[in-house]
Amino acid sequence: MSLIEANTRPALTVLSEDEIAFRDAVAEFAKGEVAPRVQQMERDAKIDPGLIKAYFEMGLMGIQMPERHGGAGGSMMMVTLAVEEISKIDAAAAIMVDVQNTLVANPLVAAGTEEQLARWMPRLVSDTIGAYALSEASSGSDAFALQTRATKAEGGWKLTGRKLWITNGAEAGLFIVFATVDPAKGYKGITAFVVERSAKGFAVGKKEDKLGIRASSTTELILEDVFVPDADVLGPVGQGYKIAIAALNEGRIGIGAQMIGIAEGALSAAIAYLKERQQFGKPLTEFQGIQFQLAQAATELEAAKLMVYNAARLKDAGEDITQAGAMAKLLSSQVCGRTTSLAVELFGGYGYTKDYPVEKFYRDAKIGTIYEGTSNMQLSTIAKAMLK
């Protein structure tokens, strides 16, 4: 047992036997299916299609989706465990699972009609990747300053605009797109639409060349008079902002899981290296200065992990997770940044090379303070909740 496994053991007391079995199964899957593909996916900046197929076969793309539509009917805690375990190996591979289960499944289940679920869920469970399209050039932290317009047409709506920073954009077949039906109404004009990739006038644009999570696609979406039938409007017209916020609140727990997974992977790699690396005639782990740094990192990681787990539990209990999710994402991304930076330093010069995994963990960590709400936006959310 590595030091990080020992130090995170108390957190496992909050898991049921079924959750532990699920976590261990995902861990084995990650070692067998994700790990052998990491380096090639990083070089190609693309998720291996064979891994996507394996995800579906393993049931990881429908963890929270209803059993009646082929999903596992699982919990947010299970999603958290899955994303954490995969992120220990590759955060880019994990975010595909995260987005499918939080930003796509959650709004569909929460706001979709039974007829809509019957059409979309079996596909999302079996072979179709989903994506969540909110961000635009002018709407980042100001998420609802949307320029994408939805104009009423006979039998439906026509969408025109551009979306940016869309995770899973290159692979997705189904997109939850947010557009405004009336800019004068502000956020109350925002409406959610489900758009097929095959829709006329819809195109996936530029794929971003990123610092980290390189295998995960981040793309532009282009919509030019894309017709969406009334049957594909998700939730009431003008209520899309509620759907978007609820999805992001849950998505932040998923990002928290990704961050603690990255940190665990980096710390485990560092400890294994330090046990082998000798200086002044003894392993680096025998130096108190090294031990203290590891102990501090493991303690911070344990705190972040328990905060993420707590937010997942609150979500499963039907509690308001606005503050808990923001806190979990904020702390876990901060801890992940510190832990991965330390791991690079503990490797010395080797940590700065691509021959060892910690430089990738370090690059992958940075996105945690940016997407699904920057750290400043999390602080704002937390403060508002405190002062309400």
Backbone phi and psi for residue 233, each to the nearest 5 degrees, phi listed first: -80, 130
Q: Which two tokens stand for residue 69?
A: 């539509």
- C-beta separation of 24 from 82 below 8 A: no
Tell the burial category of 258 from Cβ atoms under 10 Å away from its Cβ (0-12, 13-18, 19+). Answer: buried
Is residue 167 within 8 A of residue 215, CB to CB? The reply is no
Which SS3 state, helix, strand or coil, does residue 386 take?
helix
d(CA 372, CA 86) in angstroms, rounded, equals 19
Distance CA(280)–CA(284), nearest Å, equals 9
What radius of gyration do the chain's Cα atoms show? 21
CA dist 306 to 154, 173, 276, 303, 312, Å? 51, 35, 30, 5, 10
* Active-site pick, 33, 220, 264, 372: 372
In Å, how far are 69, 111, 150 from 65, measured between CA atoms? 7, 13, 28
Residue linked to tokens 């699982």: 74
Residue 372 designated active-site: yes
Distance of CA 199 to the CA centre of its chain: 26
Active-site residue list: 372
